[in-house]
Amino acid sequence: MTTDRKAYPGDLTRAQAELLLPLIPPGKKGGRPRSVELLGVINALFDVMGFYNILRKAFPNAFNRYGIERCVVHPRRINLSK
């Protein structure tokens, strides 16, 4: 399924996606077939994680106090080069 949305500056490039998509397991047999494009889901996850990084900088005491820092993944630190 393809989407008609505009690309955002933070979206993965096609070259980055080609390196990342083979690492995602295929859908399970017997289940409902996937109805969304995985690249769109990955881009959405990176957008949410980027937003949490902005919040972490705005409210550092709350993130340190409640241990949220351990749960936040830094998407820009993922090295996709070989």
- Distances in Å between the alpha carbon of 21 and those of 39, 62, 64, 65? 8, 35, 33, 36
Burial of 75 (0-12, 13-18, 19+ CB in 10 A): middle
pTM attached to this predicted model? 0.56
**Tens digit of each residue's pLDDT (9 = 90 or more) over 49-60:** 777 666 666 766
pLDDT of residue 68: 54
As a residue count, the chain comes to: 82
**Tens digit of each residue's pLDDT (9 = 90 or more) over 1-59:** 456 777 777 788 888 888 888 888 888 888 888 888 888 888 888 887 777 666 666 76
